[in-house]
């Protein structure tokens, strides 16, 4: 609600353009209509707005979230592959995912990217997979499967509000189950929720023989410390610096009458070995 008010106030000032990172993509639709009617071009960054009125958003600068979510699955799977291989319908294994919400397009795509890639990897190794938990992700994944016959269960949790404590509650539910072998927090809040849940459970490890394999997304001091301390195997970082940079340059191009288009941004896997690399370190904020 605060962001919508800020956006409406900005529109009233009739700027030459607006850069928008929508907290809730559904909440800004009326404002985007107002901007369109006022002739104010909007460049979205960090997340697109899938139902934006036609012509209201001239370009989107955002991580390819589907690919970024898949990146987390791709890097997690080799660590748990042998445990997955031993799973049976009588003794399935569980992979958890905690998403901050089911409304923001970037989180939706990222969550589904992880789920769909994990389904693909497990299926390629001959395993039946079922997706359970939050209805949005269950109903929109590539194949929700059948929990009764599944050898791998992907359980998706979404907290009632976007807070670390509530994300920790969702993570705790999943990590407390005896068959859980891995968990992914799909943004900074939920990754920190996984870490917070582990403070009482003490189950995270980098070796599946010793505990639950954890992976995160974005950065922040708790997440970076967890990677260095062997609680998370790694995380996926976006390129927030360049997203902001390219948003400003795109807006300038719009103001100068140039044609603009969407700019997809990469996600990068980082772990204790490459956190200081020059292409990773600038994106790992505290």
CATH number at residue 105: 3.40.50.2300
Q: Single out the residue in 237, 257, 275 at which a domain terminates.
A: 237
Q: Phi/psi of residue 268, each to 5°? A: -130, 130
Distance CA 238, CA 280 (A): 9
Distance CA 153, CA 48 (A): 30
Same domain, 227 and 244: no
Same domain, 43 and 145: no
- Strand order in 42-45's β-sheet? 18-20, 42-45, 57-63, 263-265
Place of tokens 């001091």: 221
Same domain, 126 and 71: yes
Range of the domain at 135: 65-237
User: Is residue 17 a part of any domain in this protein?
Assistant: yes
Provide the pLDDT for residue 84. 98
Burial of 47 (0-12, 13-18, 19+ CB in 10 A): buried
Q: Phi/psi of residue 80, each to 5°? A: -105, 0
Same domain, 153 and 257: no
Same domain, 119 and 49: no
User: Is residue 186 a part of any domain in this protein?
Assistant: yes
Q: Which residues contact 196 (CB under 8 A, 6 or more apart)?
A: 164, 165, 167, 168, 171, 222
Q: Single out the residue in 221, 237, 253 at which a domain terminates.
A: 237
User: Is residue 276 a part of any domain in this protein?
Assistant: no
Same domain, 158 and 247: no
> What is the number of domains present in the chain?
2
Same domain, 53 and 84: no
User: Is residue 259 a part of any domain in this protein?
Assistant: yes
Angle at 65 between CA 64 and CA 66, to 5 degrees: 95
Per-residue pLDDT of the chain (286 residues; tens, 9 = 90+): 999 999 999 999 999 999 999 998 899 999 999 999 999 999 999 888 989 999 999 999 999 999 999 999 999 999 999 999 999 999 999 999 999 999 888 899 999 999 999 999 999 999 999 999 999 999 999 999 999 999 999 999 999 999 999 999 999 999 999 999 999 999 999 999 999 999 999 999 999 999 999 999 999 999 999 999 999 999 999 998 899 999 999 999 999 999 999 999 989 999 999 999 998 999 998 8
Q: Single out the residue in 237, 257, 279 at which a domain terminates.
A: 237
Q: DSSP character for 53?
A: P
Length of the chain: 286
Helix (H) or strand (E) holding 9: helix 2-12
Provide the pLDDT for residue 144. 98
Same domain, 51 and 72: no
Same domain, 232 and 172: yes
Same domain, 112 and 161: yes
Same domain, 255 and 212: no
Distance CA 188, CA 198 (A): 15
Distance CA 219, CA 28 (A): 27
Q: Which two tokens stand for residue 141?
A: 């994944």
Distance CA 196, CA 190 (A): 9
Same domain, 3 and 136: no
Over its C-alpha atoms, the chain yields an Rg (Å, rounded) of 20
User: Is residue 209 a part of any domain in this protein?
Assistant: yes
User: Is residue 35 a part of any domain in this protein?
Assistant: yes
User: Is residue 284 a part of any domain in this protein?
Assistant: no
């Amino acid at each position: 609600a605060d962001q919508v008010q800020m956006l409406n106030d900005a529109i009233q000032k009739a700027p030459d353009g607006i850069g928008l990172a929508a907290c809730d993509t559904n909440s800004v639709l009326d404002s985007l209509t107002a901007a369109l009617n006022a002739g104010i071009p909007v460049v979205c960054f960090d997340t697109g707005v899938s139902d934006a009125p036609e012509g209201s958003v001239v370009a989107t600068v955002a991580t390819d979230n589907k690919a970024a979510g898949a990146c987390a699955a791709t890097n997690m799977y080799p660590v748990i592959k042998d445990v997955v291989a031993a799973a049976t319908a009588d003794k399935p294994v569980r992979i958890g995912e905690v998403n901050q919400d089911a409304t923001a397009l970037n989180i939706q795509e990222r969550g589904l990217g992880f789920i769909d890639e994990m389904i693909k990897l497990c299926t390629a190794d001959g395993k039946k997979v079922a997706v359970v938990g939050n209805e949005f992700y269950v109903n929109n994944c590539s194949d929700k499967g059948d929990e009764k016959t599944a050898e791998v269960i992907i359980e998706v949790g979404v907290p009632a509000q976007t807070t670390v404590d509530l994300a920790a509650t969702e993570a705790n539910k999943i990590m407390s189950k005896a068959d859980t072998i891995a968990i992914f927090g799909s943004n900074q809040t939920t990754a920190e929720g996984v870490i917070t849940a582990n403070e009482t459970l003490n189950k995270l490890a980098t070796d599946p023989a010793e505990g639950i394999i954890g992976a995160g997304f974005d950065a922040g001091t708790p997440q970076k410390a967890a990677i260095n301390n062997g609680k998370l195997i790694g995380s996926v970082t976006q390129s927030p610096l360049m997203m902001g940079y390219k948003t400003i340059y795109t807006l300038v191009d719009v103001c100068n009458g140039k044609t603009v288009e969407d700019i997809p941004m990469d996600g990068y896997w980082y772990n204790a070995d490459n956190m200081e690399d020059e292409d990773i370190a600038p994106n790992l904020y505290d």
